Amino acid sequence: MDKEQRENGIDPRNLTIIVRTLHTIVHLNISDNNLNILGPASNILDIRYTKSWRNMTDNKVIRDLVITLEDYGFLYGENLKNSSNTSLIVKDYPNVQLNLRYIKYAGNLSPKERLFKFPNASFNLSLDALLKESGAVVVILWYKTIHSLIRNTFHGDNIYAAISSKIINVNVRPEQKKKFSEPVRISWDLAELNDFKTCAYWKPRLGENRWKTDGCKKVTDKFYSNRLICECDHLTAFAAMDISRTMVRF
């Protein structure tokens, strides 16, 4: 990469081509554990390309990338079905991490097996997310940089809102259609926790470019003053969001 490319990033059209190529490869349904999708995806999610991502006219490309990586996770997860009861695979790259678990029977799932830990964050899976009569593939993607790459208009109707954590995207197949009586729990250890920090989610598969807050509630942690805990009645992409009206407009 020459000096000009380092300064200006990738042409947004090239980002689009790369994402479309990854999408095509994944949807060929090649069941091969050696298929490397996360490596190229991690490369284009580097913060060096923040300007390129933000120069896009909309967020469809980054939304398509999130969907593609989730589909890749489920494709990879199909290979776990003949493994042990709660096989876990972690594939870590500089800008994205994939966690896969195949659960044969939810009734045998211990609290430890429901907990997924990340640097300064965690996700606790609700048993309500799992269909009791069948095995389930759990796909969790820990995005380390997307919160820095997406345009500010992506943060909802409040133009002052900004994502203040890394993004955790979680889904399960077969999918539980009902809202959960027992919520999933997501926590982030933030640099600062105040009344403006709240729980937010995004549903890329619905074609949405907005973060929302309904179906999630903020819970106080008695022991860690800067820990934001969110309890939500569904699965999707989650983040902590700052909705302070004093933030600078971009």
SS3 (DSSP) at 106: helix
Kindly report, residue by residue over 118-130, the tens digit of the pLDDT.
999 999 999 999 8
At a CB cut-off of 8 Å and minimum separation 6, what does 39 contact?
93
Instruction: Name the nearest CA neighbour of 58 among 244, 208, 234.
Output: 208
And the tokens for 221? 């942690």
Kindly report, residue by residue over 58-96, the tens digit of the pLDDT.
678 999 999 999 999 998 888 777 665 557 889 999 999
Per-range mean pLDDT, top range of 66-75, 100-109, 131-140, 146-155: 66-75
Question: How many CB atoms neighbour CB 88 within 10 A?
Answer: 14
Q: pLDDT value at position 159? A: 53
Alpha helix ranges (H) inside 27-129: 38-44, 50-54, 60-77, 111-114
Lowest mean pLDDT of 67-81, 144-158, 230-244, name the range: 144-158
Q: pLDDT value at position 132? A: 73
And the tokens for 28? 């060929």
The three state secondary structure string of 137-187 is EEEEEEECCHHHHCCHHHHCCCCCCEECCCEEEEEEECCCCCCCCCCEEEE
Rg (CA), the chain: 18
The pTM score is 0.89
Q: pLDDT value at position 177? A: 83
Q: pLDDT value at position 160? A: 62
Q: pLDDT value at position 2? A: 42
| Burial status of residue 250 (CB atoms within 10 A of its CB: 0-12, 13-18, 19 or more) | exposed
> How many angstroms separate the first and last alpha carbons of the chain?
29
Please, what is the Cα angle at 215 between 138 and 207, to 5 degrees? 65
SS3 (DSSP) at 217: strand
And the tokens for 117? 């830990």
Which residues lie across from 140 on neighbouring strands?
Answer: 99, 170
Contact 196, 243 (CB under 8 A): yes
pLDDT value at 216 more than 90: yes
Question: Looking at domain 12-245, which of 3.40.50.1970, 2.60.220.50, 2.60.40.10, 3.40.50.280 is its CATH number?
Answer: 2.60.220.50
204 vs 170: CA distance, rounded Å:
12
pLDDT band at 229 (very low <50, low <70, confident <90, very high): very high
